[in-house]
Amino acid sequence: MQTDTTSKLSHTTLALHWIVGLTMIGMLALGIIMEEFDMKYLMPWHKSIGILIFAFVIARVLWRIKNGWPKPVNQYKSYEQLLSKLVHWVLIVSTVLMPLSGILMSYMGGNGLEMFGLELAGRNIDAATGEKVARNKALAGLAHSTHGIVPTVLYVAIALHVVGAFKHHIVDKDGTLKRMIGKKVDIK
């Protein structure tokens, strides 16, 4: 399988970055719209897309472990490299935490898991009362808090990340953004 080089990123890195990145932005927007405008009928879509993207997130983490992080196209100041590393870590960890916490809060809260109509797990129903009961209330609560707090961190990290990408392109005029859209770039 093709791996990243400093002048060109692999198709795997490009595909996983854009599939996961753009879906995360869409899911954050969907989550907010759903909550703010009380549009709960969007929830099955939110959950289904979230469960599906989790598979891509896991593939991406495994790919990062196998392939390493892309090397910078240029020599940057040490604080810039540190900030970029920190933001990449926050982004990748958050892409794991959001779908994982969503799945855990639903499942541990006693709900089932369904992806586009396909039942992956049933609801946890008490045979005596016929009511839904939590599988693990504490874990469901922790996952719920995580699902509510991590987006705030993500908004800041995504803003820094996107501003950084365009700073590379417009101010530094280097190939960082071009490389992320599949172009081969010159290394200084």
Chain positions contacting ligand HEM, by CB under 6 A? 13, 17, 21, 24-25, 27-28, 31-32, 35, 46-47, 50-51, 53, 64, 70, 72, 84, 88, 91-92, 95, 98-99, 102-103, 106, 147-148, 151, 158, 161-162, 165, 176-177, 180
Q: Which residue is nearest to ligand HEM (CB)?
A: 31
Amino acid at 146: T
Q: Rounded CA gap, 106 and 51, in Å?
A: 11
- Give the nearer residue to ligand HEM in terms of CB position, either 86 or 162: 162
Q: Least distance (Å) from ligand HEM to the CB of residue 20? A: 6
Q: Least distance (Å) from ligand HEM to the CB of residue 112? A: 10
Q: Least distance (Å) from ligand HEM to the CB of residue 123? A: 13
Amino acid at 184: K
Q: Least distance (Å) from ligand HEM to the CB of residue 49? A: 7
Number of Cβ within 10 Å of residue 145's Cβ equals 11
Task: Read off the tokens for 72.
Answer: 């910078």
Number of Cβ within 10 Å of residue 73's Cβ equals 20
Task: Check residue 41 and report its DSSP letter.
Answer: G
Is 99 within 8 Å of 50 (Cβ atoms)? yes
